[in-house]
């Protein structure tokens, strides 16, 4: 058998990638540059650093709701990320969604190949890495992406196997969409826009994309990544994970003193000159992770920043995550509200839509570190 250690990305076709085949080494096309490797990142697991918010208090009125809205605002300003507990989605629905996801990835290759596609516009597609065989660096991931709202429009396109996938994943998607509207209501309230500012845009008329990710065991997890550093195009992303493996980037201004160690400039992070550290997000049973996306950064005119995050790998265990990305309708433009603009705080971002992001994704290699939000910033 030919040794593929020095293989290029083009030598691995969809359905025949290193991570799907369980190779006992990491081929060269999966090896990330030394400064970007997990072993050199000074990643730290600090559960006290990650805000954990009891969102059941959003269902109340008065002082208790004002307090949790302020907690969300602080998390959005400081990290662009927080965990939520007591969110109203039962543990059985979470467990069954993860079980359905794992069941899909355990299907024979011929079943999964029916959904294979590199076309980012497909409403349902299976693939590996980011764009299989096209990106210079490949990533140790297998994924299934499908649109999830309106659910009755898309669910019949989802995998028919394993048995129960549509029912179990559908329950999760429906519940997490309702939760996303509540979270966004609190975010817009914190910006002084009112809790209903985005409700129709994100609820009835919004877009929901579910990214079901599988990160198989990697023989050299210090050499590769499941996903490169990036931020999500969405307003918010709500993530369920089976194991730890998510890392977020925290700016030096917010975390330098806590770790006691020197900070390093992260080469995949803009803007230049900002020193940061990676923080490993702990996996708390029943908790969900909430990412601020590019479109909330636009909505807030830069007060809240979309979080840069990545997926690391495990040597012995498969990690499953389900990311539910929530945004406006496909062609609806996110703009900076007039009430957040004045002479001292001019408009800092161009308007954009979900379709604009898809066009960006189709034309760019995200492994090179360019982010969609970078194309939206206005130089004042």
Domain count, the chain: 1
Two structure tokens written together for 26? 């990491």
Could you tell me if residue 60 is inside a domain?
A: yes
Could you tell me if residue 2 is inside a domain?
A: no
Residue 351's CATH number: 2.60.120.330
Could you tell me if residue 34 is inside a domain?
A: no
Q: Which of 363, 371, 40 is nearest to 231 (CA)?
A: 371
From first to last of the 380 residues of the chain, give the pLDDT tens digit: 345 676 665 566 656 788 888 888 999 989 999 888 886 554 555 556 899 999 999 998 889 999 999 999 999 999 999 999 999 999 999 999 999 999 999 999 899 989 998 888 999 999 886 655 556 788 999 999 999 999 999 999 999 999 999 999 999 999 999 999 999 999 999 999 999 999 888 878 899 999 999 999 999 999 999 999 999 999 999 999 999 999 999 876 544 433 334 444 444 443 433 457 899 999 999 999 999 999 999 999 999 999 999 999 999 999 999 999 999 999 999 999 999 999 999 999 999 999 999 999 888 766 666 799 999 999 86
Q: Which of 291, 304, 303, 286 is nearest to 56 (CA)?
A: 286
Q: Residue 376: its pLDDT value, please?
A: 95
Could you tell me if residue 15 is inside a domain?
A: no
Could you tell me if residue 68 is inside a domain?
A: yes
Q: Residue 84: its pLDDT value, please?
A: 98
Q: For residues 101, 83, 349 and 347, what is the CA-based torsion angle, rounded to 10 degrees?
A: 150
Could you tell me if residue 32 is inside a domain?
A: no
Which range marks the domain in which residue 105 is found?
40-375
Could you tell me if residue 264 is inside a domain?
A: yes
Residue 102 phi/psi, 5° resolution?
A: -60, -40
Q: Are 281 and 244 in contact (CB under 8 A)?
A: yes
Q: Using CA atoms, how far apart are residues 173 and 209, in angstroms rounded to an integer? A: 9
Could you tell me if residue 24 is inside a domain?
A: no
């Amino acid at each position: 058998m030919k040794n593929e250690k020095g293989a290029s990305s083009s030598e691995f076709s969809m359905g025949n990638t290193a991570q799907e085949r369980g190779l006992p080494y990491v081929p060269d096309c999966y090896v990330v540059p030394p400064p970007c490797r997990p072993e050199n990142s000074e990643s730290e697991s600090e559960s006290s650093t990650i805000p954990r918010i009891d969102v059941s208090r959003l269902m109340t009125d008065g002082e208790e709701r004002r307090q949790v809205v302020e907690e969300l605002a602080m998390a959005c300003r400081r990290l662009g990320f927080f965990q939520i507990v007591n969110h109203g989605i039962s543990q059985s629905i979470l467990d069954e969604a993860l079980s359905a996801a794992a069941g899909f990835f355990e299907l024979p290759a011929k079943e999964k190949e029916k959904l294979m596609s590199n076309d980012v516009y497909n409403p349902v597609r299976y693939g590996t890495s980011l764009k299989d065989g096209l990106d210079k660096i490949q990533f140790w991931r297998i994924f299934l992406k499908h649109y999830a709202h309106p659910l009755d429009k898309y669910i019949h396109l989802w995998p028919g196997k394993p048995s129960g996938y549509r029912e179990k994943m559908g329950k999760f998607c429906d519940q997490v969409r309702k939760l996303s509207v509540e979270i966004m209501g609190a975010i817009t309230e914190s910006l002084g826009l009112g809790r209903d500012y985005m409700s129709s845009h994100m609820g009835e008329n919004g877009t929901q994309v579910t990214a079901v990710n599988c990160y198989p065991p990697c023989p050299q997890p210090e050499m590769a990544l499941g996903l490169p550093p990036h931020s999500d195009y969405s307003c918010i992303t709500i993530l369920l994970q089976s194991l730890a493996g998510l890392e977020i980037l925290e700016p030096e201004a917010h975390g330098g003193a806590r770790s006691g160690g020197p900070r390093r400039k992260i080469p995949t992070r803009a803007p230049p000159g900002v020193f940061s550290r990676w923080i490993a997000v702990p996996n708390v049973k029943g908790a969900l992770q909430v990412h601020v996306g590019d479109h909330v950064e636009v909505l807030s005119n830069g007060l809240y920043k979309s979080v840069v995050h990545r997926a690391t790998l495990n040597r012995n265990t498969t990690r499953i995550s389900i990311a539910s990305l929530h945004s406006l309708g496909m062609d609806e433009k996110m703009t900076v509200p007039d009430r957040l603009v004045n002479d001292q705080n001019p408009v800092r971002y161009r308007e954009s839509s979900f379709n604009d992001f898809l066009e960006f994704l189709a034309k760019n290699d995200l492994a090179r570190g360019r982010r969609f939000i970078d194309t939206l910033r206005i130089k004042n």
